[in-house]
Chains A and B, each alone.
Chain A
């Protein structure tokens, strides 16, 4: 029998050559994919979970055990330990930020996403004036950290355009992060010079076959180009990088394991980089066709977040507004360190000039002051920024 190639053509680096895509010659993707392929969540026993909880240093093997079904009955103990680790590193600080979508034009065809090129949604892109107007409104809420997002269109939101948005953002905010399409290290360097210092790229799923099904066309189809974005961002001078799988697209345990391993190996290779993890779950979107989500319940989501914390005690963990207020309130007191507030995932909505539709439905729509009050009520310290740009 012919052995299945775990890495189809689109998954290999040679797919990048003809698209001006930089190949930095890294082996991290191969290492993560082979580790994920070898990960069998069903193999772990309660004894493995016990050993993982007792270990001083959480190894990749311990992490795998903590993500397994065998760990679910230990969730209370896992949560206690996660909370202890979070408090050790971060005290009671919780960081606040908000996303700003400046364009929702997209050239990708991700079957699970509201911005899918095929979807007939209202498309829009803020001009310089619109960007300034929205940022000013956000800054007035007291926030000092902004995450700039675009749909993935190099045509409608080119690097220069994103750079201009960064320039405006640096006047209003102390921390500027980006969640945009993957680019070359020289382009990341350009955006860093214009004020951005953090880059988040969601790999969506680390299962190459599933990735191919979910991304039937467009630049995003080229898996390694996306996979190595964090490394290119670091090479471009960014201070920190964020990782995530969109949990629910494939086997969430395997995807969570691969996400952790990806972040772990990048941290070991670039110890200077700040590492953060996000834990988005698949949400209903416009144009959501017959895509049956691989379900992940709140209990499992909570397990993933706690496992991330124990595996990478130093990493920032962001909790999405896709989740309920109640869930978020508890998770920031246990494992997460960053929470979005006053969220709008459409275009122009903060100044009453909504012109583009949303990427997904949010659940927690609380304002910055509501989130701040919640944190204070729980004896947590809302922190707007503790950052230096150099």
Chain B
């Protein structure tokens, strides 16, 4: 029997890795090792004002063949996100974009309403839109209807490393939404990435957890292993959990034996 390959599909593109690496807060020298140790096939980037003088550019440190996923960080509303996405595409790195709209400087929580608007515009322009969002079922449905290629709910406030604070709500998205669910933001440990994958998430994105580790490439590898383990567990079907106090009450089906047949 031919074994089916377990692929993550995004906008018609197939990936075997289910770990997306954020490249922020790194020294450029470590980017390549981190990408390689993470086995990442997608790396996120941000767009900023360039420095004069031909300084090192992050693109020089990202291995060949890795898909670049520019984000729209810095956007405070849909209009700004759309502009940043359009500028990013001019750099000739493909049609992927991660929409990120934030106008709250204290908690940095994404604005789902503006994100939906930006998704609709950019999907209409042929972008492969990957929206970062607060895990809300109605908003996720609107994003899918607007043309999102996946939905990226946060696990906890960005950069917090607090783990799966929104567990129940992410589970609802996993159960109800037909596009890939990529848990993004707040994942602080490999075990949390593993847990999200066991729940049925399609992929994990992390940045700060790795960027703030003592040994960045080693932590990248730990995440890769955790994501793989969680995925395999999900595909294998988790074993059962015995409910405490499960109590076989009086039989409910006894009445069936006395039931006369009508037909």
Q: Is B263 an interface residue (CB 8 A)?
A: yes
Partner of B176, one of A268, A284, A326, A327: A268
Contact A298 B259 (CB under 8 A): yes
What residues of A have a CB within 8 angstroms of the CB of B262 in the complex? 281, 283, 322-324, 363
Q: Which of A49-108 touch B at CB < 8 Å? A: 50-51, 54, 57, 75-76, 79-80, 83
B-contact 0/1 string along A270-289, CB 8 Å cutoff: 01000000000111100000
Contact B263 A83 (CB under 8 A): no
Main secondary structure of the interface of B (DSSP, over half): loop
Cα-based distance from A162 to B122 in the complex (angstroms): 46
Partner of A79, one of B175, B176, B239, B253: B253
Partner of A271, one of B141, B240, B263: B141
Q: Which of A279-329 touch B at CB < 8 Å? A: 281-284, 293, 295, 297-299, 302, 322-324, 326-327
Cα-based distance from A79 to B137 in the complex (angstroms): 30
Contact B256 A80 (CB under 8 A): no
What residues of A have a CB within 8 angstroms of the CB of B258 in the complex? 326
Contact A248 B263 (CB under 8 A): yes
Cα-based distance from A281 to B259 in the complex (angstroms): 15
Shortest distance between the CB of A309 and any CB in chain B (Å): 12
Shortest distance between the CB of B199 and any CB in chain A (Å): 10
Q: Is B105 an interface residue (CB 8 A)?
A: no
Q: Which of B231-263 touch A at CB < 8 Å? A: 237, 239-241, 248-249, 251-253, 255-256, 258-263
Q: Is A334 an interface residue (CB 8 A)?
A: yes
Q: Which of B87-112 touch A at CB < 8 Å? A: none
Cα-based distance from A70 to B94 in the complex (angstroms): 50
What residues of B have a CB within 8 angstroms of the CB of A54 in the complex? 239-241
Chain B contact residue count (CB 8 A cutoff): 22
Partner of A293, one of B176, B241, B263: B263
Chain A contact residue count (CB 8 A cutoff): 30
What residues of B have a CB within 8 angstroms of the CB of A83 in the complex? 252
Shortest distance between the CB of A351 and any CB in chain B (Å): 28
What residues of A have a CB within 8 angstroms of the CB of B263 in the complex? 248, 281-284, 293, 295
Q: Is B136 an interface residue (CB 8 A)?
A: no
Query: Which chain A residue lies CB-closest to B172?
Result: A57
Cα-based distance from A73 to B239 in the complex (angstroms): 21
Q: Is A366 an interface residue (CB 8 A)?
A: no
Contact B260 A75 (CB under 8 A): no
Query: Which chain B residue lies CB-closest to A57?
Result: B175
Q: Is A330 an interface residue (CB 8 A)?
A: yes
Cα-based distance from A346 to B260 in the complex (angstroms): 25
Q: Is B215 an interface residue (CB 8 A)?
A: no
Q: List 17 A-B contacts (CB under 8 A).
A: A51-B237, A51-B240, A54-B239, A76-B252, A79-B252, A79-B253, A271-B137, A271-B141, A281-B262, A282-B263, A283-B263, A284-B263, A298-B261, A322-B262, A326-B255, A326-B259, A363-B262
Interface residues of B (CB under 8 A from A): 137, 141, 175-176, 178, 237, 239-241, 248-249, 251-253, 255-256, 258-263
The 8 closest A-B pairs by CB, nearest first: A54-B240, A79-B252, A298-B259, A330-B255, A76-B253, A79-B253, A75-B253, A299-B256
Supplied contacts A299-B256, A324-B260, A363-B262, 17 more A-B pairs, CB within 8 Å? A50-B240, A51-B237, A54-B241, A75-B253, A79-B252, A80-B249, A80-B252, A83-B252, A268-B178, A282-B263, A297-B261, A298-B261, A302-B256, A326-B255, A326-B258, A330-B252, A330-B255
